[in-house]
Amino acid sequence: MTTAAPAGQAGAAAAPSNATQADRPLIWIDGKMLPKSQAVVNVFDHGLLYGDGVFEGVRVYRGRIFKCDSHLNRIFRNAQAIHMDRQGGDKFGSGSKGFPYTRDEIRHIMEQCVQANELSEGYIRLVFTRGVGTLGLNPFSCPRPSVICIADAITLYPDALYEAGMKVIIADRPRTPNTCLDPMLKSLNYLNNILAKVEALSANTGSEAPEDEVFECIMLKYSEKGEQIVGECTGDNLFIVKDGALVTSPISVGMLDGVTRTFVINELAPALGLTVDEHPITVDELLSADECFLTGTAAEIIAVRQVDDTVISNGEGPVTRSLREKFRAIVTSDSVPTD
């Protein structure tokens, strides 16, 4: 669903009227809607040079932006956490007028990208980079952040795995400690996740059946004491089911405050009469769970049937299935939540 741009505020530029399928997806960059072949960033952009920026992955269902407000709240919170609101002032970050776009303007940009790409079901990647600056680290040498919005289709995992369940491993690489770079900060610096993801992909020998392929891994909380506390995966949050109740580690152990995770806790679980207990999950507790599942914007809700060599369940368990079916019923309804 699209709306007119708020009066007096910047909106997305019109899509090229002669765009071909090869031009798609059309991508919004700093006020221009461009074919993908022309959608480029400056080599002096600090997002490229230093991973200096923040982003969101957002789902589109039935042409509506799922949990749009939640995603906007998080990206603006994170933009402020890396001091993007101080750009445009002097070299010390003083005298700035603040972030150059409002939430309503960013919402309108996303809506225009969905409309321009004629998406009913899809995925939005919204990116705020530090913008063009110098080769030095000083973020305030970049006078203005850049905004990029991509709206396209996405398939994260094979469809068959939603009923068969995934096989995952526990990565050797732990999550970055909160005091170094809080995982709640969804920044463009994803090397911690990527290097753990490589561990998962490297666990494939090439001879497994498709359902035995490893796409994801669990990242433990960093601990000098040798504690084995389950945090999240490289791109998804994690829940277990024990005796009919949901359990998930709290955000404080070091993980992203996932929008789908919050939706499960605050809306899906209560609707199904399920209780949720947030406490630090140990590896032993994980391996003795009745069910395990992952949540994420791209993944939605997907079962985990095996962790390393331990079989958790024979495919998707009944609690996971009820959550996934409830989720799909909501996002395919006439009332897709955009709050």
Domain ranges of the chain: 21-152, 161-331
Look up the CATH number of domain 21-152.
3.30.470.10
Q: How far is CA 188 from CA 107, 127, 185, in A?
A: 20, 8, 9
Number of other CB atoms surrounding residue 242 within 10 Å: 17
**Can you give the pLDDT at residue 17?**
58
Q: What is the pLDDT of residue 19?
A: 67
Contacts of 212 (CB under 8 A, 6+ apart): 167
For residues 290-304, one letter each, b for 16 or more C-beta atoms within 10 angstroms of the residue's C-beta and e for the rest, the string is bbbbbbbbbbbbbbb
- Max Cα–Cα distance, the chain, nearest Å: 61
The pLDDT of residue 207 is: 65
**Residues for the chain: how many in total?**
339
Mean pLDDT by 10 residues, the chain (339 residues): 39 61 91 96 98 98 98 98 97 96 98 97 98 97 98 94 97 96 96 98 84 94 95 98 98 97 98 98 98 98 98 98 98 97
Question: Residue 101: what residue type?
Answer: Y
Phi, psi of 180 (to 5 degrees): -90, -55
Helix ranges (H only) for the chain are: 46-50, 68-81, 103-116, 161-164, 191-202, 259-263, 269-271, 283-287, 318-331
Tokens of 19: 């765009």
| Structure confidence at residue 11 (pLDDT) | 54
Q: Residue 35 is which amino acid?
A: P
* Domain spanning 161-331, CATH class: alpha beta
Nearest to 113 by CA among 101, 103, 99, 123: 123
Tell me the C-alpha to C-alpha distance, in Å, between residue 191 and each of 33, 88, 196: 29, 28, 8
Model pLDDT, residue 67: 98
Kindly report the pTM of this predicted structure. 0.93
* Those residues with Cβ within 8 angstroms of residue 102's Cβ, 6 or more apart along the chain or in another chain: 6, 9
Q: What's the pLDDT at 14?
A: 62
The amino acid sitting at 192 is N
Q: Name the β-bridge partners of 244.
A: none
